[in-house]
Structure 1
Amino acid sequence: MPKQIKKIQQVDVQQFDFQIFYKNLARVSGKDYILLDPDPKKLFKKIRKSCEMIKAAGGLVKNAKDNYLFIFRNKKWDLPKGKVEKDEKMKEAALREVEEECGVKIFTNDEKLCKTYHVYQLDNRLVLKKTNWYSMTVKGEPKLIPQKEEGITKAGWLSKLELSPVLKNTYPSIVQVLEAGGLLADNIVVKPVLAAIKKV
C-alpha cells in the first residue's frame, strides 16, 4: 500500500472489470482507488488487454539556467509529448514531439526517466496511453513557440521553486515525471510564477 496523503478506497480484484469501473467513475469525483494483488503484473496485463494501447513519448527539458520547459494545454499544465509514429523509436519520437510542440532545438536527449500510463475515452473505445519520458537539455534559454494547432496556449521556463501553479493544475502522470526528474524535493519554497510564463 502506498503512503496515503488522502483516503484511498480499495477495489475488489476478484470481481474487477476495468471497462465497467471506468464508466462508473463519471458518477463519483475526488476519490482515489487502489487494486492490491499478489501478482500485479498479471493484473495489469488483464487491464491492458481491455483497452486499446497507444504509445507516446515526451521530454523533461532543462535549459542552461536550470529552468524547465512547461506547456499549458487543454486548461492544464503539461509537458511536451506525443504519439509515436510507425517505425519510429520512442526516444526519437520524444525529441521530435518536444521540438515540434515548443519550437526549440534539443541539444541532448539523455536517459529515460520513467514511463507513465493514463486512460481516456476515444469515441466508444478505452485507450491506455503508455508514455516514455526522457531527460533533455537545450543550449541557453531559447524562446519557445507553442504549437497552437496542438492546443498549446502557453510555453515557458520554470525553476524548481516555481512549480506550485503546475502542481495545483496538472495530471498525476506529470507529477510522476517531475518526481523521477528530481524536481519535487521536500524543501521546495514556492515563489510567484506570474512573470515566468508568457502568454502567446
Structure 2
Amino acid sequence: MEVESIKAAGGVVVKESNSSDPFVLLIYRRGVWDMPKGKLDEGETIKECSVREVSEEVGTPVSPNIIFDLQETYHEYERHGIHYGKTTYWFAMKFPDDAEISFRPETEEGIQEVSWERLSDAKTLVGYENLIEVLNTFELKYREFREDKGNSDS
C-alpha cells in the first residue's frame, strides 16, 4: 500500500509556575486531549509552521517563541481511503512574558477547548501514546533549560 507523506509541526507551550510542575497548553479536539500542531504550508519552514499552527489552533494573535527543539513523532492513519504517514516536528515554546493571552479555539478544526494543565496531569490527559513521549522529552529538557537559565542568572 502506498503511503502519502505529510510533514507537520507543533508545540509544547509552557507557562512557568512556582512549583517544579509547569503548566502546558492542551487542546480538546474530537473527544481527545491533544497538543496544537498542523500541516506544513508550501514555502514555510518547520519552525514557522509550528509557531503558526499553535497560534491558529488556540486562537491567539500572539505568537509563541520557540525555546528549544524537542523531537519528531511519526504515525500512520487512513482517511477517505488514502493511507498517510505523518511526521510531526515538536518544539518547546513560551508566550512572551508581557503578553496578554486569551484563547479562542479554532472550531473549524474541531477544537472545542484550550486549557493550561499541569505537566503531570497532561501526561495522563493526552489521548495519544506518542504525545506522552513528547511530554516526557519536554520534561527532561525543560529541567535542563531551567537549570542552565538559573545558573546564567547568578
What's the TM-score once normalised by structure 2's chain length? 0.78
Helix, strand or coil at the partner of 1:91: helix
Q: Does the aligned pair in 2 maintain the 1:63–1:139 contact within 8 Å?
A: no
In the alignment, what sits opposite 1:159?
A: 118
- Please, what is the CA RMSD of the aligned residues? 1.8
Which of structure 1's runs of 4+ aligned residues deviate more than 4 A?
none
Note closer, same or farther for the CA distance 1:179–1:57 as it changes in structure 2 (3 Å cut): same
Q: What is the percent sequence identity of the aligned residues? A: 35
In the alignment, the residues of structure 2 paired with residue 108 and residue 55 of structure 1 have an alpha-carbon distance, to the nearest angstrom, of 20
TM-score by length of 1: 0.61
Unpaired segments ≥5 residues, structure 2: 141-154
Provide, for residues 61-95 of structure 1, a one-character-per-residue CA deviation record: whole Å limited to 9, x for no partner. Answer: 01243311000101111000000001110110000
* Structure 1 residues 146 and 175, CA gap change in structure 2 (3 angstroms): same
Higher strand share: 2
Q: Distance in 1 between matches of 2:104 and 2:118?
A: 19
Match of 1:53 in 2: 5
Give the drift of 1:165. 4.8
Residue 85 of structure 2 is matched in structure 1 by: 128
The answer for unaligned runs of 5 or more in structure 1 is 1-18, 20-49, 184-200
User: Cα gap change, 1:55/1:122 in structure 2, threshold over 3 Å: closer, same or farther?
Assistant: same
- Residue pair 1:58, 1:94 contacting (<8 A) in 2 also: yes
- Rg larger in structure: 1
Give how far 1:142 is off: 2.5
For 1:108, the equivalent position in structure 2 comes to 65
Residues 84 and 93 of structure 1 are in contact (CA less than 8 Å); yes or no, is this contact kept in structure 2?
Answer: yes
8 Å CA contact 2:55–2:64 kept in 1: the answer is no
Secondary structure of the equivalent of 1:97?
A: helix
Asked if 1:139 is matched to 2:96, the reply is: yes
Equivalenced residue count is 133
Retained in 2: the 8 A contact 1:64–1:139? Answer: no
More relative contact order in 1 or in 2 (CA 8 Å, sep 6+)?
Answer: 2
